[in-house]
Amino acid sequence: MTKKIWILFVILASFRQALSVDQPNFVLVYVDDLGWADTSVRMMERDPESASDFHQTPHLESLAARGMKFSNAYAPAPTCTPSRKSIQFGKTPARLGYTFVNDVVAIQRELEWKDEMSLADILKSADPNYITAHFGKGMGGEQMVTIGYDITDEIDGHADNGNFHGEYVSLSDRRPLPKDNPKRMNSLKESALKFIEEYSGRRPFFLMVSHYAVHVPHAARPELIEKYRKLPRGKYCRDEDYLPLSEMPEGMTIHSWRLQYAAMLEEVDQGLGAIVNAIEETGQRENTYIIFTSDNGGGLPPNGSLRGGKANLYEGGLRVPFVIAGPGVKPNSQCDLPIAQWDLLPTFHDLAESKQELPEKLDGGSLRNIFAKGNGGTISRATPEFVFHYPCYFAPPLSVIRMGDYKLMEHLLTGEQKLFNVSTDREEKENLIYENPEKALELKARLSKYLESIEAEKIDDVFEARFAQLDLFEERARSTHAQAIKRANGEREAIEAADEKLRLDLERFEENRRECRANMKNTTF
């Protein structure tokens, strides 16, 4: 049965039931590149390094005080696009066939996900009265309206709200966003508030606010930056952070100015607070689940006591902040059980008390029991292990499995392995591969079985597809050049400009090929 027919069947069946606003509401605030230890909430009480001594996120603190935080919450991938697909569909990026940014194999195969059941679809199957909205950064390759969202903010019509929409008013002319709306944080807040005002208390709703912040290039309101200039200095702040803007080292404002980063994060937190206040004003706070998390590990090191960061598969690249408050969630609590964002789809299904069966071949399980019981709760998953498959052509290609306390990492080119007990060694300092070979063999067997069962992408295919993609880019560049020469009609300056553009394009493609060939010999781990 296709997804469309299945949804139609479910909706027709559900109309026999009385529609009610008593169904719970759901809000998901999804931040881009926010590290595990970047907020002012300790994600692990016993670890002072699991929160920032400089950043201020008071609204997240309030959310955590009336809800639950997770010390072992995982993003689906160490980079954005695969995570943003996975969280929608309750499946690992490997199962969905898109494992890293610019997944050349998925692009070559022309994969689509509009027939997958999304978070929005799951709630509509529970009750067709649900109204769903997605504002902000999309999941790449698909508009959110094609996967079940009623209201979206696709900016350029055909676009899926990629990261550049956090920099420009429109991609067509590259006009920068106004200074009072850096990374679209203000407009995302306003869209969310308008949606809540219209529907909260009238219809059950799901609202996903998907931030462009805190991804590079960083941006923040000047008055908030100045606030942090006057606060006590954080331990990771440097003298350069306090320079006048005119004296900043080149590029620092783009990716490492800590005052700006703190201001940007506070504005994200202000948006969270505004959403919570709006829901309270409609009388729906006690009937609304509010989740705050990030799409991958931190892009601005360090990541507290965790090793690594964005784009690698150590804990700093995968473990993320995760806070939830809502009906039945144990207040002011911390849960240490490992969870992954692909758990959210079956969790929504359970919390909405859907009478419809879940889609097949999910990797996640419902978190409802542990929301109520914390560490005393249980999670049932068809796939008990967490698998992170990252056959990447521009970074060390790895496959990783976490099961229980242990995590096995394997380099896909060299076969080198590392084994860590991440319950006692979240810094991943002690490689146990020789001390506990039996555990490594057990995890390797489970990892291989899973990857084989889903016909996961292979690293050789990735490199082959990347070279094919570069050949295609070159072919297009030469075609564009030929058309430009024809249009030039013998005009010397136009011909020279077209020639120069082709030269630069060909140089860039050849450099990409050299980098790819070098990465085929990459043993970094």
pLDDT at 173: 86
pLDDT at 155: 87
Q: What's the token pair of residue 381?
A: 């998953």
Question: Block means of pLDDT (10 residues each) for the chain, length 525 residues?
Answer: 57 47 93 98 98 98 98 98 98 98 97 96 98 97 94 87 93 91 98 98 98 98 97 97 94 97 98 98 98 98 96 97 98 98 98 96 98 97 96 96 98 98 98 98 98 98 98 98 95 96 98 97 92
pLDDT at 157: 75
The answer to whether the CB of 356 falls within 8 A of the CB of 125 is yes
Q: How many CB atoms lie within 10 A of CB 179?
A: 10
Q: What's the token pair of residue 90?
A: 């309750």
Burial of 250 (0-12, 13-18, 19+ CB in 10 A): exposed
Q: Give 28-55 as a 3 state SS string.
A: EEEECCCCCCCCCCCCCCCCHHHCCCCC
Distance CA(333)–CA(323), nearest Å, equals 10
What are the residue ranges spanned by the domains of the chain? Answer: 3-376, 396-453, 459-519
Q: Of 266, 269, 322, which is closest to residue 297 (Cα–Cα)?
A: 322
pLDDT at 4: 59
pLDDT at 18: 43
The architecture that CATH gives domain 3-376 is: 3-Layer(aba) Sandwich (3.40)
The three-state secondary structure class of 398 is strand
Q: What's the token pair of residue 304?
A: 């507290």
Helix axes 58-65, 258-281, angle to 10 degrees: 50
pLDDT at 151: 97
Distance CA(428)–CA(153), nearest Å, equals 41
Q: Give 231-260 as a 3 state SS string.
A: CCCCCCCCHHHHCCHHHCCCCHHHHCCHHH
Q: Which residues pair with 389 in a beta bridge?
A: 399
pTM of structure: 0.95
The three-state secondary structure class of 323 is strand
Model confidence pLDDT, tens digit, residues 261-303 = 999 999 999 999 999 999 999 999 999 999 999 999 999 999 9
pLDDT at 401: 98
Cβ-based neighbours of 416, under 8 Å, separated by 6 or more? 410, 523, 525
The architecture that CATH gives domain 396-453 is: 2-Layer Sandwich (3.30)
Per-residue DSSP letter, 21: T
pLDDT at 170: 87
Q: Do domains 3-376 and 396-453 have the same CATH topology?
A: no
Distance CA(155)–CA(143), nearest Å, equals 11
The answer to whether the CB of 131 falls within 8 A of the CB of 202 is no
The bridge status of strand 73-74 relative to strand 339-340 is parallel
